[in-house]
Amino acid sequence: MSKKHFADDFIDAINSDNTLNEASKNIVLRNLAKIKETKVNILITGATGCGKSSTINALFNANKAKVGQGVDPETMEISKYEFDNIVLFDSPGLGDGKEADLKHAKAITNKLYEKDKDGNLLIDLVLVILDGSSRDLGTSFELINQVIIPNLGDDKNRLLVAINQADMAMKGRYWNVEKNHPEPELVNFLEEKVISTKNRIYEATGVKVDPIYYAAGYKDGVSTQNPYNLSKLLVHILRHTKEEKRAVFAQDINSDKEMWKDDDRLEDYRTEIKETLLESIKNSASAGADIGESIGAALGMRTVGKVIGGVAGGIWGGVKSIFGF
């Protein structure tokens, strides 16, 4: 892609910093080059119409996924969307008929076992989206409990369950359109949905998940509704991603500030996003430059953090302004 990588701005900054010793500098530059090559592979699945495409478009920096596009169950395969560092696999869940369901279950299972070129499991994270406006989530639980969890391997942390269309959970009632948030009645309803989702998965599989609810929002000819709890969703995605891979989200997340504004305020999600990205970049950049070795190196490493935090323009500058650096 043509946009400049945020790591290149850090590379420029490190290169022009003369407080760093040469040896540390070379290690950091090599690490930054590695960040550019790091891929995070996410499998997004859930029933047709739950909002996979809408969620992809809200989270990331391109309108790649067609919204409201019904799939042809006969020919449907997993669609792949490649950003600079994030790679998404979008697969329908169950509920498209017996034959299609078998095909989808098989495709998802295969993806879960796929290895990358280093022999590690390819998929870093499986995001299962439930349609919060649907009263019958039976096929979604079948997908989670019978297809995904049994084929997930030991690292159950790869699974994240999120309930979309929070605004429509009570058919649009108790959603405050003006403020773009749920009123207390709807909050209670959604919290119960979270608990019952958690219980249904735990009772069937013994696996503990921590579902969240959100709204990807929509754009149609007449009206637009911004996402709700998208920052919370990203916080959970980051928490479920290996520490050393978190940094690269900075490159691909949606640069439209409006997308990230509205949330339940239960935690300061935007501050956590900012600190998580910065921490991950600092740690990845200074990996192997032995901090314990000498005071000089330790000071050098502290400077790396400072240099990186100080970079203003480009993609990183955008991320900083969204998440309040």
Of 37-45, 53-61, 123-131, 219-227, the segment contacting Mg ion by CB under 5 A is: 53-61
CB of 253 to Mg ion, least distance (A): 19
217 binds, among ligand GDP, Mg ion, none (CB under 5 to 8 A by kind): ligand GDP
CA distance 282 to 229: 27
274 binds, among Mg ion, ligand GDP, none (CB under 5 to 8 A by kind): none
Closest to ligand GDP by CB, 48 vs 276, is 48
Strand duo 218-219 + 79-82: pairing: unpaired
Position of tokens 């869940």?
Answer: 93
**Site residues for ligand GDP per CB under 6 A:** 46, 48-54, 67-68, 164-165, 167-168, 215-218
Comparing CA positions, the residue from 74, 88, 154 lying closest to residue 126 is: 88
167: exposed, middle or buried (Cβ count in 10 Å: 0-12, 13-18, 19+): buried
**What are the Cα distances from residue 103, in Å, to 41, 47, 246?**
21, 14, 32
Contacts with Mg ion: how many residues (CB under 5 A)? 2
Among 24, 31, 41, 53, contact with Mg ion (rule: CB under 5 A): 53
Q: What share of the chain is helix, strand, coil (3-state, %, to 5)?
A: 50, 15, 35
Closest to ligand GDP by CB, 229 vs 276, is 229
Closest to ligand GDP by CB, 52 vs 282, is 52
Q: Please enumerate in sequence order all residues whose Cβ is within 8 A of that of 63, keeping only pairs 6 or more positions apart, or say none.
A: 57
CB of 174 to ligand GDP, least distance (A): 14
167 binds, among ligand GDP, Mg ion, none (CB under 5 to 8 A by kind): ligand GDP
CB of 52 to Mg ion, least distance (A): 5
269: exposed, middle or buried (Cβ count in 10 Å: 0-12, 13-18, 19+): buried
40 binds, among ligand GDP, Mg ion, none (CB under 5 to 8 A by kind): none
* Residues at the contact surface with Mg ion, assessed by CB under 5 A: 52-53
